[in-house]
Amino acid sequence: MTSKSSTEIVPEVSSVPRHIAIIMDGNGRWATKRFMPRVAGHVKGVEAVRGVVEACARQGVEYVTFFAFSSENWRRPADEVSTLMRLFVTALEREVSKMHANGIRLKIVGDLGRFDEKLQKLIQNAERKTADNTGLTVTVCANYGGRWDIMQAVNRMVAENPGASDFSEAQLSPYLALAYAPEPDLFIRTGGEERISNFLLWQLAYSELYFTDTYWPDFDAEALELAIDSYRQRERRFGRTSQQVVEQREAVAKC
């Protein structure tokens, strides 16, 4: 099982994060700084996704998850929202075949019912086409919110277990949108803000957090390497003492 909970077992830690989750922020400011419309930043942002996906595959990362559109982003001006939707459609039309050829499994998670039919069809086809691929799993969170995720999981769990109560974490986990992935080892937010913005609230319980001022369109393979370097410096204790972590490392090294 990949989705074991960090609050119930101590996960194995390796020098390359198995799962990286990213809030791609700063597209608008990247463009504004260049006297360009915000949409130009979003276009550039799609290119940055491509670069980071390739870099993750090269590094041996198993899962990379991108926050593309939050449940709160509908509050943006209508023309920015429709541009983002259009970009999403174009990206799917252009990129899915290439991803498939590279063995990438693509997942799109969130409250997808709010998207128009064309986009929903593209999403279904992309997931179906790449479902059996065994390379990097790329997840795009679209109309996603961490609270939405927890609530949809609770509601489905309760509906499927009528009359039951006193549920455990382990019973809830399979209903979460990213149940197929281990919890993120590394969380990255670009663009200088240091907040979670309703991203993976449940799954980030023990993730290492990395914030950078770099705007998302400028975030490249080198920037990713810096984030992974920072991750390697961390001592992941999962509630234990530093001494226990060192002793465990020594015991593993002896075998």
Which listed option, Mg ion, ligand IPE, none, makes contact with residue 84 (CB within 5 to 8 Å by class)? ligand IPE
**Closest among 186, 232, 189 to 211, alpha carbons compared:** 189
What Å distances lie between residue 103 and 214, 220, 245, CA to CA? 29, 21, 36
From 5, 6, 27, 71, residue interacting with ligand IPE (rule: CB under 6 A): 27
Binding site for Mg ion (CB under 5 A): 25
Is 149 in the active site? no
From 195, 232, 237, 249, residue interacting with ligand IPE (rule: CB under 6 A): 195
Is 102 in the active site? no
What minimum distance in Å lies between the beta carbon of 181 and ligand IPE? 18
What minimum distance in Å lies between the beta carbon of 237 and ligand IPE? 28
Q: Which residues contact 139 (CB under 8 A, 6 or more apart)?
A: 63, 64, 65, 66, 106, 107, 108, 109, 178, 181
The residue count for binding ligand IPE (CB under 6 A) is 17
Residue 67 lies near ligand IPE (rule: CB under 6 A): yes
Contact 11, 183 (CB under 8 A): yes
From 3, 73, 83, 230, residue interacting with ligand IPE (rule: CB under 6 A): 73
The one-character DSSP state at 144 is E
Residue 193 lies near ligand IPE (rule: CB under 6 A): yes
Residue facing ligand IPE at closest CB distance: 28
Among residues 25, 27, 149, 185, the one annotated as catalytic is 25
Stretch that binds ligand IPE, among 66-74, 103-111, 123-131, 173-181 (CB under 6 A): 66-74
What minimum distance in Å lies between the beta carbon of 191 and ligand IPE? 5
Q: Which residues contact 55 (CB under 8 A, 6 or more apart)?
A: 220, 221, 224, 225
Backbone angles phi, psi at 137, to 5 degrees: -95, 115
HSE-CB at 100 with a 13 A cutoff on CA atoms is 14
Longest Cα separation, the chain: 60
Residue 142 lies near ligand IPE (rule: CB under 6 A): no
From 44, 46, 69, 188, residue interacting with ligand IPE (rule: CB under 6 A): 69
Stretch that binds ligand IPE, among 3-11, 26-34, 48-56, 156-164 (CB under 6 A): 26-34
**Closest among 172, 181, 166 to 154, alpha carbons compared:** 172
Which listed option, ligand IPE, Mg ion, none, makes contact with residue 23 (CB within 5 to 8 Å by class)? ligand IPE
At position 124, the amino acid (one-letter code) is: Q
* Strand locations in 53-199 (E): 63-70, 105-109, 137-144, 186-189
Active site residues: 25, 73
Interacting residues toward ligand IPE by CB under 6 A? 23-29, 67-70, 73, 84, 191, 193, 195, 197
